[in-house]
Chain A
């Protein structure tokens, strides 16, 4: 049994089919439901077309270096489901999962299922998170999460504060500012990244140099690696870099991390903006150093453009530390402050005190239970569509040997 018919659940379905393991995929809506219902209109995938390689499926079009728009992402995943003939039950919402002696009882709004093994592929971004102090925002200011935001036309005219400067926040800030609504962008930890480096997509370099294949059991601290924010990338036709300097250049105002809101509706920004930008510039420098080293070692220096470095992130001399949200200058706040998975229906005691699933590279701390599609689940690329294949191959092998052992015990 697989819960969730997105790219991760489907990749697992394909691997189980290859192993002749009988299964079904339960889907609360249509295939690629989150992409259909929880993304903004202009979204493009952050990875180039060629990079979405799934078991038994890959890009066949004539624009391998382009970035899929939202309708194409949906179409891509839907046609994968069709191609692999995945046994998907659409419009079947799981209401609870509990452990039984023989495996799991999965209750849905379309009846109950029993299974020996269960793969959770219900997504890493089900719930947009907001800081608790968001409740202190004056009522005259509209609030949306990155999940609720669709396009600038949804917003009142006037100023917008976008909170969070990872890939969602920077893309949304860019689009809204260009719609004529002045944007203030609150910047905490973020990872700056050039879209193109030495003439090639950054994702190409990270893929080729093995950065994306780095395993969860090889990194220094996997919990920290799983908390690292998404690269500040955007998938635009001109393949331009959307970093904070690009946003400053069009007039977006950078402020520090939103640290609190006072009783009289004043937003307080941390005085750490300069260091947030310095950390990000240094981190980007280390990634590019690693790429340059790999290029040299692999004889690519002749075939590619010479190494280059972006100028440091510009931060004004004294960034503002506060802003009156009751003054009417800001009409809307958009929270691009991250996402978390929803396990409210999971009645198996496998969550830690922070509500995260306890697992070892997708092997959950309960027999026969697996996770797919988590951030840095088994590899750095696990977060990407392109990472689902290797993870599904590994975890389907584990699942198959678990079933073999299970059967052996039953027949013994």
Chain B
């Protein structure tokens, strides 16, 4: 990294030095690496809900975003809904694409690759016979997800492919969608 920092002017807007310093610090203080991410969701009407994200826990204390972020979720009119927002499954796609894209920028910075443009399109296949309870052999979730990247950068094709592969390896949302997670839902 020392070499990359001193000899290049690559800037993808990622503070890799800070990330590496954090990694170093958290290696010796694993307690501080324990985070909790949160969202609150309020039903509005029909399939429409309003969610907010404001606080989280990490580095041993409560943390706050600079402001509260709000998300409306609903279903489109073909589902007899009013389409006040993206569907929840589309939020999953947004989460996956934005996580992978952030990872690409960070890995590119670390590998001294200047990005000019990174665009992803993401598509999830779903057979809605699952959620409608028509066919019990069909799962509710995506049958598969395809992400297609279009990247313009100062690098060979293999290096760009390696960025995309490494980003998947380090991505939280990629892990969440490709591996099982225990989910506990209770009524308070």
B13 within 8 A of A: no
Q: Which of A278-333 contact B (CB under 8 A)?
A: 278-279, 282, 285-286, 318
B169 near A270: Cβ-Cβ < 8 Å? no
Quick one: given A318-B144, A353-B30, are A272 and B168 in contact (CB under 8 Å)?
yes
CA distance A260 to B144 in the complex (A): 19
Main secondary structure of the interface of A (DSSP, over half): mixed
Q: Which residues of A contact B162 (CB under 8 A)?
A: 282, 286
B180 near A272: Cβ-Cβ < 8 Å? no
B6 within 8 A of A: no
For residue A353, which residue of chain B has the nearest CB? B30
Stretch of B36-44, B65-73, B171-179 lying at the A interface:
B171-179
Quick one: given A279-B165, A353-B30, are A270 and B158 in contact (CB under 8 Å)?
no
Q: Which residues of A contact B158 (CB under 8 A)?
A: 282, 285-286
B114 within 8 A of A: no
A275 within 8 A of B: yes
**Chain B 150-188, CB within 8 Å of chain A: the 1/0 string?**
000000001001100110110000100111100000000
Best-buried of B144, B162, B166, B177 by chain A (most CB within 10 Å): B162
B165 near A278: Cβ-Cβ < 8 Å? yes
User: Least Cβ distance of A372 to chain B in Å?
Assistant: 26
Q: Which of A256, A260, A275, A353 contacts B168 (CB 8 A)?
A: A275
User: Least Cβ distance of B25 to chain A in Å?
Assistant: 15
A117 within 8 A of B: no
CA distance A353 to B178 in the complex (A): 28
Quick one: given A279-B166, A279-B169, A353-B30, are A271 and B177 in contact (CB under 8 Å)?
yes
A115 within 8 A of B: no
Quick one: given A282-B162, A353-B30, are A275 and B169 in contact (CB under 8 Å)?
yes
A96 within 8 A of B: no
B178 near A271: Cβ-Cβ < 8 Å? yes
Quick one: given A275-B168, A279-B166, are A268 and B177 in contact (CB under 8 Å)?
no
Q: Which of A199-252 contact B (CB under 8 A)?
A: 220
B165 near A275: Cβ-Cβ < 8 Å? yes
**Chain A 182-208, CB within 8 Å of chain B: the 1/0 string?**
000000000000000000000000000
Quick one: given A275-B165, A282-B161, are A268 and B180 in contact (CB under 8 Å)?
yes
Q: Which residues of A contact B179 (CB under 8 A)?
A: 259-260, 268, 270-272
Number of interface residues, chain A, beta carbon within 8 A? 16
CA distance A259 to B180 in the complex (A): 7
Q: Which residues of B contact A279 (CB under 8 A)?
A: 165-166, 169
Q: Which residues of A contact B144 (CB under 8 A)?
A: 318
B178 near A270: Cβ-Cβ < 8 Å? yes
For residue B178, which residue of chain A has the nearest CB? A271
For residue A285, which residue of chain B has the nearest CB? B158
User: Least Cβ distance of A77 to chain B in Å?
Assistant: 37
CA distance A285 to B178 in the complex (A): 26
User: Least Cβ distance of A79 to chain B in Å?
Assistant: 44
Q: Which residues of A contact B174 (CB under 8 A)?
A: 272, 275
CA distance A282 to B166 in the complex (A): 10
Q: Which of A317-366 contact B (CB under 8 A)?
A: 318, 353
Q: What are the nearest 6 A-B pairs in CB distance?
A: A271-B178, A259-B179, A275-B168, A272-B178, A279-B165, A282-B162
Can you show 18 pairs from A to B with CB atoms below 8 A apart?
A220-B1, A256-B178, A259-B179, A260-B180, A268-B179, A270-B178, A271-B178, A271-B179, A272-B168, A272-B178, A272-B179, A275-B165, A275-B174, A278-B161, A278-B165, A279-B165, A282-B165, A318-B143
Give residues in A with beta carbon < 8 Å to B: 220, 256, 259-260, 268, 270-272, 275, 278-279, 282, 285-286, 318, 353
Beyond A260-B180, A279-B166, A318-B144, list 12 extra A-B contacts (CB 8 Å): A259-B180, A260-B179, A268-B179, A268-B180, A270-B178, A271-B177, A271-B178, A275-B165, A279-B169, A282-B162, A286-B158, A318-B143
